[in-house]
Amino acid sequence: MSKVTIKIQPTNRPAIVKFEANVFLTKHKNYEFKNIDEAKDSPLAQQLFYLPFTKTVYVSGNFIAIERYDIVEWADVQNEVAEQIEAYLNSGQPVVIEDTENKKVPVSIYAENTPNPAVMKFVANKKLVLSPFEFKNIDDAKDAPLASALFHFPFVKEVFIDENYVSISKYDMADWNDIAQELREFIRMHIEEGKEIITEAYSIQSQKENKSASVASDITDLDDTSQQIVDILEEYVKPAVASDGGNIVFKSYDEQSKTVSVILQGACSGCPSSTITLKNGIETMLKNMMQDKVNEVVAING
């Protein structure tokens, strides 16, 4: 079994800290426990209430959030709490005992056009994955049950899954007006029935291999300039391309030619307008923000 790890994340409320896991902890809903009695169906939350400073425990998606009483500061105790949660999760005990018998997760899916006419984005009302995944064919998708199932439709060319959406690239043989509704309903049913999106083992392994969703998985160390470029892509570029159903990944930086190479994924890959976006948007931004360190941005797959 792959090791579950915990990352400490402050929130905008000083009394609350999130302890994010690299796996999903609950599938069906969010939970809030204000005392140990309310937490009768959550052995982990009950254990956390034995800490004298625990006021409220929240369980949602891939994180545990704890609101503390003022008798301590998080800086003094958060590392120990993270270790306790991590040890519990790796023991294999349940986080919440959920009644899943004959129970479906209420899910809504809406279809959204992207700048790429060959790609449509199907957005869910819940988080699907913890990091981006791109599948070019059914062999790539052997550890991704949803993508693998989608490839059984003859018109599905590629599948990209990130956060709360699925971007599907189609072959020209089909028209979106004829297939969008069928795909939307298929994705909704898959999620509603509680089927896996990505296998847990593959999800954990992918996160280990790709520490940042903005860096190609074969890169181990970044120089200072490359790290600056990655930070800019992460903060300013990635949210914009994600809204269009795609992703951008840093591949390399050539110090001599001052060329930045990136990989475009999802709706951005093969998009007719991607060259304009790359040159007029991303390249111009990096030139302005990196001054004389960047001359050109190129997409190695587009």
Rg value, the chain, Cα: 21
Domain layout of the chain by residue ranges: 6-91, 109-200, 217-301
Measure Cα distances from 98 to 45, 151, 177, 191 in Å.
14, 31, 39, 17
| CATH topology identical between 109-200 and 217-301 | no
Residue in 93, 105, 127 with CA at minimum distance from that of residue 29: 105
**Tens digits of residue pLDDT in 103-154:** 566 789 999 998 889 999 999 988 898 888 999 999 999 999 999 999 999 9
* Architecture category of domain 6-91 in CATH: 2-Layer Sandwich (3.30)
Buried-exposed string 216-230: b where 16+ CB fall within 10 A, e elsewhere: eeebeeeeeebebbb
Residue in 251, 270, 248 with CA at minimum distance from that of residue 114: 270
Q: Does domain 217-301 have CATH number 3.30.300.130?
A: yes
* Architecture category of domain 109-200 in CATH: 2-Layer Sandwich (3.30)
**CA atoms of 167 and 32, how far apart (whole Å):** 32
On average, the pLDDT of the chain sits at 86
pTM over 0.75: no
**Tens digits of residue pLDDT in 163-184:** 899 999 999 999 999 999 999 9
Per-residue pLDDT at 80 exceeds 90: yes
> Which amino acid would we find at residue 117?
P
